[in-house]
Amino acid sequence: METVSENRAFGGVQGVYSHASTETGTGMTFSVYVPPHEAGAKLPVLWYISGLTCTHANVTEKGEFRQACAEHGIIFVAPDTSPRGEDVPDSAEEYDFGKGAGFYVDATREPWRKNYRMRSYIENELPGLIAENFPADMARQSITGHSMGGHGALTIGLRNADRFKSISAFSPIVAPGQCPWGEKALGRYLGEAREAWREYDAVALIEDGARHDHILVDQGTADDFLKDELKTGLLALACKKAAIPAQIRMQEGYDHSYYFISSFMESHVRWHAERLG
């Protein structure tokens, strides 16, 4: 692991780091905020999974999470959204597919299957790197994310309910198998057999038996993507049918931007902190 930058913030350190990933076969960059803490202490970890077109930098620079993380003593980890590099397959004319749009799947179709392994990268490889290099208590982890990253947070959290104490999301894609963004990405990364898509679809995972007692979602009512792509109501219905006590909050007048995310970031960090202990 190499240090790209480190800056003092709210008594802690905001760092950006890079490493050679064995899962994606590329160099990967991620950010970690470590709050002030006593020597030898182990701190809980909150993962933030970013959305379409984003990198680690979007939330790191605009998310306004550091003060809350410093107050509650939480490490904040922000991975990238896809593999990067000149040799990585891409669809440059499409913002919602290819680089910046990994959808947190392990692709099974060519030419994507070699590098587009963001599920294994987030679930397996990067946690090992965090545990090795930071004062992280990996027995206390939670996860959150935005949009495509909200889809990632929900699906990763539901598939690994024993690992994550709590799951939250800002304007997530809740049912990619039922929206244009998701149908495009899952069909091309995984193939046309929709049964293979279900483990990457929060609503389908719940329908198939996945459960978690601590789910929080904030969704803006002025979000241009709400009706066709995000479909928050499908998650609310799935949780109701499964008797999952999810908090799904419709926030009046808020859109899809980081103005929205930063407005509610503190409440998400605090909510996770209560469950991380």
Amino acid at 61: E
Residue 206: which domain range?
2-276
Q: Which residues have a Cβ under 8 Å from the Cβ of 49 and sit 6 or more positions away?
A: 79, 104, 122, 143, 144, 145, 146, 149, 150, 152, 153, 156
Provide the edge-to-edge strand list for the sheet that holds 43-49: 2-9, 12-20, 27-34, 75-78, 43-49, 136-145, 164-170, 215-220, 247-251
Centre a 10 Å sphere on the Cβ of residue 3 and count the other Cβ atoms it contains: 9
pLDDT at 234: 98
pLDDT, one tens digit for every residue, the chain (277 residues): 999 999 999 999 999 999 999 999 999 999 999 999 999 999 999 999 999 999 999 999 999 999 999 999 999 999 999 999 999 999 989 999 999 999 999 999 999 999 999 999 999 999 999 999 999 999 999 999 999 999 999 999 999 999 999 999 999 999 999 999 999 999 999 999 999 999 999 999 999 999 999 999 999 999 999 999 999 999 999 999 999 999 999 999 999 999 999 999 999 999 999 999 9
Q: What percent of the chain has pLDDT over 90?
A: 99
pLDDT at 127: 98
Backbone CA torsion sign across 15, 16, 20, 22: positive
| Structural contact between residues 52 and 145, judged by C-beta atoms closer than 8 angstroms | no
pTM (two decimals) = 0.97
Q: What is the CATH number of the domain that holds 158?
A: 3.40.50.1820
Nearest to 107 by CA among 92, 119, 95: 119
Structure tokens at 235: 């998650």
- What are the catalytic residues? 147, 223, 256
pLDDT at 251: 98
pLDDT at 233: 98
Centre a 10 Å sphere on the Cβ of residue 224 and count the other Cβ atoms it contains: 11
pLDDT at 163: 97
pLDDT at 224: 98
How many domains is the chain built from?
A: 1
**Cα–Cα distance, 118 to 233 (Å, whole number):** 27
pLDDT at 99: 96
